[in-house]
Structure formats: structure tokens, C-alpha cells
Amino acid sequence: MRLSRYFVPLLKETPSEAQIVSHRLMLRAGLIRQEAAGIYAWLPLGFRVLRKIEQIVREEMNRAGAVEILMPTLQQSDLWRESGRYDAYGPEMLRITDRHERELVYGPTNEEMVTEIFRAYVKSYKSLPLNLYHIQWKFRDEVRPRFGVMRGREFLMKDAYSFDLDQATARRSYNRMYVAYLRAFDRMGLVTIPMRADTGPIGGDLSHEFHVLADTGESQVYLDRNLIDMPVPPETIDFGGDLDPIVQQRSALYAATSDVHDQARFEAEVPEERRMSTRGIEVGQVFYFGAKYSTPMKATVTGPDGKDVPVEMGSYGIGVSRLVAAIIEASHDDAGIIWPEPVAPFDLGLVNLKAGDAKTDAACGDLYASLTRAGKDVLYDDTAERPGAKFAGMDLIGLPWQVVVGPRGLEKGLVEVKNRKTGAKEELSADEVVNRFAK
């Protein structure tokens, strides 16, 4: 993509409303634009990142055996009366009346609807286990949206719902999601820690929140330092096999958010040098809730014994739009964003230091063509800006690699390759650059 024909509105000055670093950088780098309180438009660079994150989540969900569907954003309010949550959800649920005076709600979550879909078709235990998920915009009318897309009112969420015959198989479904989450976040370059979370009236130990550790996180978290370096299950992990050891290995180590934190237990279980108290950003949650919705909504299956039983359910959320901000919180410096390669909006930036100079233009044109042919997404800065402005802009938007081409280097037949994260610079010939990135 040629920058001169693209749309990346960079801001030199920091908008005054942005308090946390990810929000500031998302506005300055032209990723998002606020349209109303807690509601954002996604500009080209931001949208690309959002799509990349979404795709990683999708791939890991599919790998774990979940099946993608797409449910609508608007739901009939009657569904919510069936489950009993119509009143319980309160003013956080946006209610809309259509021209026939029918009441709709903009879905804040989809337990009711997915249960309705399930019960319409699935009648036998032989169809289980089943896990249906979608990636769809949600709306929660938060009292106080803030921190940009970190806590917007409208947000993109992946929500999956598992259906099983009994608790034992439900646990296996839960474990699959748990492992899929570890993998998905890891692929985005994040270290996430599953934290024991409040399970409410259902009880049990089957709820975890996945937190990215970052100083600016919204939650206070306490954990055993050993969790940080624990290896993530590989791509080849067998989701059909027993995943319980993986979950248990982590669950054995202390990790809790402030609402369930037990200081005495923390000190008893974790040696002092391994105790860690920091901030976390919740980017996902897995939750087993049994028959909470299937009972009132009469979603039953016939078991092997011929008896109908309410299906055992769990739900599993990932805040896709929030992840964009969370990744920036975890990966930036004073100059701007530092995208992990798997989620970067472009693989590399090609900087023409003297647009209009025939030799420089030609060298850049060749590199752009070769790198593109090699399958790389290249953002080519072919604008007439001065070098300083280009460097600052590239650093700000945070592409993992910068290829800098200027007359000075070309005299020696060299261009510069800079790693955004380390700042390391290398001088290479154009061919070497292509070889480097084509591999």
C-alpha cells in the first residue's frame, strides 16, 4: 500500500481526553476515531489489526473444535424474559422499540439466543458435545465508558457457548477453551495468566479470567511468578485428548484478581520471592454455568437412558477490540506502538527518504514490488514529507520492520533495515532485504 493513496491520519499532538497510553497511541497513530461516548470508528490501520486479532481467535477456536456462526446484534426482548435476565440485566442493556412497538435489545451477550438456536435443533446426546461461537459487536451501556476501546460501550467480542450432556464432559469442553485461549493470546505476543474468578451462585472452580499483565491494567492481580514462564501448549496439541493436566498444572499455582484474592492463602502457598502483585487487563473469560439457561429455556437433550435432561453449558468470551488496546499497553515505547508481528497492520514499512529523486524512487519501487511479490504486506511511504517526519510517523504506527531507502545509502548500494522493537539497524543490499523477508 502506498501511503500517499492510503488513509492514516496521524496526530502530532495528543488529544487531551486520552488518559492511558494505548488510547493516546491509538488516536495519534490514526487507528480509531471516537464518534460518541464509548463508540469508535475503526480507521484503516486499526481495522487491519482488529481483523488480524479476530483471525487468530477464529483459527484457535476452530482448532479446538468450536463451530463458527453469526448471530444478529438485535434480539427480541422476549428471549430475555424467558431466561429471567430481562430485568436482572438492568439499564446496561440497550433497549430499542421498532415501528410496530416491538421491543428489541442490542445484545450485550448471547446466552439466550444461542440456547434458543440449540434447543430448536438438538435433541439427542449423540449430537454432543457442541460448541457454537461467533465474533460479533456487542453493546453494553456502561455508566462510564473510558480508556478508548479498552472499555467502550460498543465492542467486538468472540463469544463461544458449549453444550454437553453432563458435568464431566462439560469440564472437557471448558478445558478445550482454556487451552485455546492460552494459544490464541500467545500467538498475539501476549503473556496472559488465567486467574481464578468468582463463579457466583453456581460454585465450583470452573471460571477463569485471562489477564494481560500491564502496569496500566484495571484490575489488581496476585500471582505466582512461575506462571509467567509456563510453556504454552503447541499447535499440535490434541484437543480430543485429556487436557486436564494442562489446566491443573496452572490451577495449582496461585493467581487471583483482587475480588477473590486471599492474602493469607497467597502467603501460605507462594514463597515470598515468587509472589507477584501487579495490574492486569482482562482480555478473556471462561465460565461453566451448568443448566442456568437451559432449565428456564427448556433446552433439553435425551440421554442414553431415554430421559430428557437440561443441557450443561459454558460460555467463553474474548474481548477482540479490547485486545487491540491491551497489546499496545503491553508493547510500546516513548516513540509509539511496537506491534508484535502476528498482529501488525503491515509486515513492514518502506521509507522513501527523497520522494521525487529518480534513483530513490526507482529503488523503492523495485523493493516494493519484490517484497509484495514475496507475500509481504508493505506500507510504502512515498510521500514528500521530510525524513524526520517519516521516521517519527513510522515509529508511531509501530510496524515491526522499517526499510529505509535514501540517496546516501544508495550510493553505496545499501538500504537500512531497522527493527522497531530493538531499534537495531543493519545496512543491506536490496537483494539481501528481499531474501531476508521472503524466507
Site string (331-360) toward RNA, x via CB under 7 A: ----x-----------------xx-x----
Measured between alpha carbons, how far is 39 from 44 in angstroms, rounded to an integer? Answer: 16
Distance between CA atoms of residues 49 and 439, nearest Å: 23
Beta-carbon contacts of residue 8 (< 8 Å; ≥ 6 apart): 29, 30, 43, 44, 45, 397
221: left (phi over 0), alpha (psi -120 to 50) or beta: beta
Given phi > 0 = left and psi -120 to 50 = alpha, else beta, which region is 306?
Answer: left
Question: Smallest gap, in angstroms, from Cβ of residue 332 to RNA?
Answer: 13
Write the interaction track for RNA spanning residues 73-112; mark x where CB under 7 A is met and - where it is not.
Answer: ----------------------------------------
Q: Which one of 117, 122, 230, 392 is in contact with RNA (CB under 7 A)?
A: 392
Look up cell 497510553; give the residue.
21
Say whether residue 218 binds RNA (CB under 7 A). Answer: yes
Select the span of 66-74, 113-121, 181-189, 399-407 touching RNA (CB under 7 A). 399-407
Work out whether 422 is an interface residue with RNA (CB under 7 A): no
The verdict on 389 binding RNA (CB under 7 A) reads yes
Integer Cα distance of 243 and 346 in angstroms = 35
| 266 membership: H or E segment, kind and range | helix 263-269
Contacts to RNA from residues 4-23, by CB under 7 A: 10-13, 15-19
Is residue 396 at the binding interface for RNA, with CB under 7 A as the rule? yes
Is the CB of 250 or the CB of 418 nearer to RNA? 418
155 membership: H or E segment, kind and range = strand 154-164
Decide: is 321 part of the binding site for RNA (CB under 7 A).
yes
Full strand arrangement of the beta sheet holding 74-76: 74-76, 103-106, 94-97
Question: Which letter does DSSP use for residue 225 in this model?
Answer: G
Contact between 285 and RNA per CB under 7 A: yes
* Residue 228 found at the interface with RNA (CB under 7 A): no
* 416 binds RNA, rule: CB under 7 A: yes
| Binding residues for RNA restricted to 29-68, rule: CB under 7 A | 34, 36-38
| 207 counts as binding RNA under rule CB under 7 A | no
Task: Identify which range of 126-134, 143-151, 289-297, 370-378 contacts RNA by CB under 7 A.
Answer: 143-151
β-pair type (130-139, 67-68) = parallel
- Number of residues this chain uses to bind RNA (CB under 7 A): 62
Which residue number, 300 or 383, has a Cβ lying nearer to RNA? 383
42-46 own/partner pairs: CB under 8 Å, 24+ apart: 43/7, 43/8, 43/9, 44/6, 44/7, 44/8, 44/345, 45/8, 45/345, 45/397, 46/324, 46/345
Stretch of 98-106, 117-125, 127-135, 280-288 contacting RNA, by CB under 7 A:
280-288
d(CA 39, CA 185): 25
Element (H, E) at 350: strand 348-352
Name the one residue in this structure whose C-alpha cell is 490434541: 238
* CA Rg value for the chain: 24
Amino acid symbol at 135: I
Q: At what angle do helices 167-187 and 244-251 cross, to 10 degrees?
A: 70
Contact between 284 and RNA by CB under 7 A: the answer reads yes
Q: Which of 52, 119, 134, 151 binds RNA (CB under 7 A)?
A: 151
319 touches 348 (CB < 8 A):
no
Q: Which of 60, 112, 116, 209 binds RNA (CB under 7 A)?
A: 209
CB of 209 to RNA, least distance (A): 6
Do 394 and 378 form a contact (C-beta atoms < 8 A)? no
Among 280, 290, 310, 319, binds RNA (CB under 7 A): 319
| Span interacting with RNA, options 63-71, 97-105, 262-270, 281-289, rule CB under 7 A | 281-289
Give the residues lining the site for RNA (CB under 7 A).
10-13, 15-19, 28, 34, 36-38, 140, 142-147, 149-152, 155, 157, 209, 218, 282-285, 317-319, 321-322, 335, 353-354, 356, 384-389, 391-393, 395-396, 404-410, 416, 418
